[in-house]
Structure formats: structure tokens, C-alpha cells
Amino acid sequence: MSDSATAHKPVRVMLWGLPRSLTTVLTKCLSYVDGIYVIHEAFASALITGPEKDIQDVQGLGSFMENAANISDANVEVQCWEDKICTFQWVKDTMEADYPGKKIIFCKDIVTSISNHLDMIPHGYRHTFIIRHPTKTFLSLRKLFIQNFLPSGVPAEQFQMDALMESHQEEIPFKIIADVVKHLKEQGEESCPVIVDADDLQNHPASILRQYCEAVGIPYNDSLLQWEAGDDIIKKNWYVSKTLMVGNTIGNYYGAALSSTKFNPASEPPSTSEIPQDVVRLSEQAMPYYKELYDMRLKP
């Protein structure tokens, strides 16, 4: 390969995280970088709505997504793929494909989607992770499920987040992040994964975002610290699942992220007495893995 061809190969970055951890906000922020192309939650799509989907109807999630998939006449202005093509191999091939004219390929995904398909992790990427305090993560996720995914007639007070996690997967999600970091190191895919804590990003956006961009090869300037509200930017350069986008019109799970204009200061975690016991139990199980990852994070 010529030096010229090598020089024009795009920078490739993976952002792994858990739901409700500012992954979409960070992705929207970076969507304003010149020449970037965003592939959004393709592995999550393969897991939840693709032909190889491997998710039960957990507390109504499957029914919710099936309903979204059946809304065939929805007006989706973003570039989308159809569920029927979204196998795990298709995702890997799509992420490793050539994108002439693009300077940066940025793929954001849910890390638990890949836990049983580690052989599908794409090559040629800098792998990065965003973590958030477990209590905040699980509280936000609990609220989302109660609002959107509870089957009709099921009282919210009967919802147990830890039972949900056990029915969906055996391991605590934060352990999965730690396991994927270890796997990437052992396989030689990533010797030094970049880890961002969401609170650090919110409280020290200039410092953390600059370090992040410098670590992965994305050009940084202070204009990235504020952006426009709405979804105009994603219509220009995001590639997403049609079903996930239609689902958003029903459940508005990307609503706060897409309406954002900057990183707002982080709130303190609520006191234990204010937290539902299922969230307390999950947070206690997750904390050792969170602390392990937190020690490796970019520091303000």
C-alpha cells in the first residue's frame, strides 16, 4: 500500500458504554467534527431487533421494539438500516468497510450487546469507554423501563431492576465492561483503552474532551463544548437502526441527549435512603468493577 493511501485511511474510534451513561450526548457532541461518520448502536440493533436477536421479552422490551418495527410508514430522516440485514457479522463488516472521503469513523454501542460475541469486535479501532456511577446509571435505566417497557397492567411498584438484569444476562453490566477491557488487552486490540467517567466529562468538559480527542486522533477545539439542540446533525452523518429510531419517537429514550446543547454539571448521587432497594443491590454489586475502571479513567 502506498504512503498516500495509508495517509488517507480514516481514524476509527469505538465508544462503548451502558445505557443512560451519556454515550449519546458524547456522540452528538463529536458529530460536529469535520468529516466524521457515526455508526450508532449497530451491535445493540443486532441483539435486540436483528435476525439473530438474542433477547427475551424482558419487562415488555421485546414487545415495545416489535411495535416500533411494525410502524412501517414512520417518517425517519436519518440514514437507516433495516432489521433483516443486521446480523453480528454484518455489523462487523460494516464497521470495517471503507468510507471514501470520511476522516473519522465513530461507532457508539452498548457494551453488553457484544458480551457473547467478542469475536465480532471490529479490527482497526481505538476502543474507548464511558462509565457512570452505578447508582445514577441504574436509577435512570429503572425510570426508562417503568415509563416505556412495563407490560400493560403491571404496577410500577412491582418492578425489580435486579430481576430484570438476571433475566437478561447473568453478569453485572459493569463487570462486562471490565471483561471487555481485559479481552481487548489480551487480544492485542487495545493496549491502553481510553476510559471517561461521565461525571468528570460533565464537570470538566474542556479537560476531558480535549484528552479524549487527543488520545484517539480526533481534532479538538473549544467549539465542541457547545452545540445546537435538536437532531439536524444526526440527519447529516449518522447511520442507525430504523427500528431504534422509530422506537425513539414512541419512547423518547434519546430525547434528552438530542435536545442537549452542552455538558451540564453532574448532580450528586442521591442518598441511600432515597434509592429503591433493587437499585441499591445492583449498585453494591457493580461498585468493585466501577472502581477498577474509575482508577483507569482520564483524570481532569
Cell of 83: 432489521
Q: Residue 117 has what pLDDT?
A: 95
Neighbouring C-alpha atoms within 13 Å toward the C-beta of 134: 25
- Residue 1 domain-assigned? no
Report the C-alpha gap between 82 and 242 in whole angstroms.
6
Q: Which domain holds residue 47?
A: 8-294
Check if the beta carbon of residue 128 is closer than 8 Å to that of residue 14: yes
Q: Which regions of the chain are under pLDDT 50?
A: 1-6, 57-60
**Phi, psi values for residue 138, rounded to 5°:** -70, -35
- Residue 299 domain-assigned? no
Check if the beta carbon of residue 16 is closer than 8 Å to that of residue 109: yes
Q: Residue 290 has what pLDDT?
A: 98
Q: What's 153's domain CATH number?
A: 3.40.50
- Determine what percent of the chain falls in helix, strand and coil, rounding each to the nearest 5: 50, 10, 35
Q: Residue 2 has what pLDDT?
A: 39
Q: Residue 75 has what pLDDT?
A: 56
- Residue 235 domain-assigned? yes
- Residue 300 domain-assigned? no
- Residue 157 domain-assigned? yes
Report the C-alpha gap between 230 and 35 in whole angstroms.
20
pTM above 0.85, yes or no: yes
Q: How many domains would you assign to the chain?
A: 1
